[in-house]
A = this chain, B = another copy of it.
Amino acid sequence: MNSDLEKYFDRLWPICRSITGNGLRESFKILQEIIPLELEEIPTGAKVFDWEIPKEWNITDAYIITPAGKKICDFKTNNLHILNYSVPQNTGLTFEELKSHLIYREDLPEAIPYATSYYKENWGFCISYNEFKTLPKEGKYKVVIDSTLKAGSLTYGHLLLKGKSDKEILLSSYLCHPSMANNELSGPLALAVLYAKIAALKDRKYTYRFVLAPETIGIIAFLHKYGKDLINNLEAGYVLTCCADKGNITYKKSKKENTLADRAAERVLKSLAKPSEIIPYAIGGSDERQYCSPGFNLPVGSFIRTPYQKYKEYHTSLDNKEFISFEKLNETVDTVFEVIKTLEQNKFYINTIPFCEPQLGKHNLYPSIGGTWGDVKLVHKMLHLLSYADGTMDISDIACKRNLTEADFTEAIAKLTEAGLLKEK
């Protein structure tokens, strides 16, 4: 899978994505080979809550010619060089005139920053500070931006994978960044691999909703159309982003803090042999901001590794293939999949013989010679379940009382259910 993932990564990498446009559509088309997202196009000018779908932006080339005739900030070499959503230009300027259109970071002199101007018409180039310092102050520069900004549409993808229940689990990531690896290609790739794993689960209890949309505006457009369905049906959801750097896995709680989504995620993280972090909900994140806005306030947390803005490579050309690890990406996917399995097993049970313990021996669930223990752990798990299964605590809460996860109780539940001592509520 690592080599497959890497091939998809390599194909997606060079495409110049934005919140609209053909680069975005081309990226969706590649991802549809592994996750059958349905695409929707929302026209420019459509109102979505407080927002309006912007004009569609497309670009084929952009560069600057220095007074010495050197081509710099070449879009074809690195698409981060262009201020995303730059309007067309073909003009000559002095250094002073050009300077206000150059974006660089003195604190990270070797990096090309990533910048956008979606909602105000503007143009600009992003350049490393090291290169910026070499630019001659005298002479005429030439600027070419071969882009279009006109009425079109915004594209997002989503997919409903039906389960036995209409109750839903949401997995959501975003697609709108040009060539950057951890934020963002790791997110869509994680989503696609999770789709394959979940689709392969037999007898799924929950319906799964996969959403891949341009960050913020795309999710707002999606919520404008489907938010009511989520309010009605969503049991737990996770935003996936920054999934492949070498930091620990981090779970950021939903705003409600103690939803099923949070409890399942926290239990899986605590059961892992490796270190992980659990952090509170906070603004300064990604699309969970929309899912958790006051009108929705959905049970949606986030899986990340190193949080956005906590690694210096964030939103620069240094967030590249060398920065990430496909093994870490798979580890993130495996962890989220553990959470999914935990949720699938989440049930309320009732002990059918509530007064005193049932006689487990009679039901062939207890060693016949007291004092010579067979599988004492299994017996204790069965007794623990019977003791707490009064229908008021879900199986994950009951498991937690023994510092275990729901998955640890699979055999005990099966044996008790078969014996008629436990039934699902």
- List residues of A whose CB falls within 8 A of some B CB: 48-52, 83-84, 103, 113-120, 122, 124, 216, 219-220, 223-224, 227, 255, 280, 282-284, 289-290, 292-297, 315, 351, 353-359, 361-362, 368-372, 380, 383-384, 386-390, 401-402
Contact = CB atoms under 8 A, between A and B. Distances in A.
A370 B116 contact: yes
A371 B113 contact: yes
Contacts of A402: 282
Given A48-B356, A51-B362, A255-B387, 11 more contacts: A103-B369, A115-B371, A116-B370, A122-B368, A216-B357, A224-B356, A290-B356, A293-B351, A293-B354, A293-B355, A293-B357
Contacts of A389: 294
Contacts of A48: 356
Contact of A120 (B51, B289, B361): B361
B50 A358 contact: yes
Contact of A369 (B83, B220, B390): B83
Given A283-B380, A353-B50, A359 B296 contact: no
A307 to B, nearest CB: 14
Contacts of A122: 368-369
Contact of A390 (B224, B297, B362, B386): B297
A114 to B, nearest CB: 5
Contacts of A292: 387
Nearest to A223: B356
Given A103-B369, A293-B356, A296-B355, A384 B119 contact: no
B115 A369 contact: yes
A132 B71 CA distance: 91
A271 to B, nearest CB: 18
B50 A362 contact: yes
Nearest to A50: B358
B386 A293 contact: yes
A354 B119 contact: no
A257 to B, nearest CB: 10
30 contacts: A50-B353, A50-B357, A50-B359, A50-B362, A51-B356, A52-B359, A103-B369, A115-B372, A116-B370, A116-B371, A117-B368, A119-B359, A119-B361, A120-B368, A122-B369, A223-B355, A223-B356, A224-B355, A255-B388, A280-B401, A283-B380, A283-B383, A283-B384, A283-B387, A289-B357, A293-B354, A293-B357, A294-B388, A294-B389, A295-B354
Nearest to A390: B294
A331 B319 CA distance: 49
A49 B355 CA distance: 7
Contacts of A368: 117, 119-120, 122
A233 B388 CA distance: 22
Nearest to A221: B356
B290 A357 contact: yes
* Top 4 closest pairs, chain A to chain B, by CB: A295-B354, A295-B355, A115-B371, A120-B368
Nearest to A296: B355
A383 to B, nearest CB: 4
A406 to B, nearest CB: 17
A315 B376 CA distance: 15
Contacts of A52: 359
A402 B280 CA distance: 10
Contacts of A359: 50-52, 119
A202 B117 CA distance: 42
Interface centre among A356, A362, A380, A383 (most CB of B within 10 A): A356
Contacts of A51: 356, 359, 362
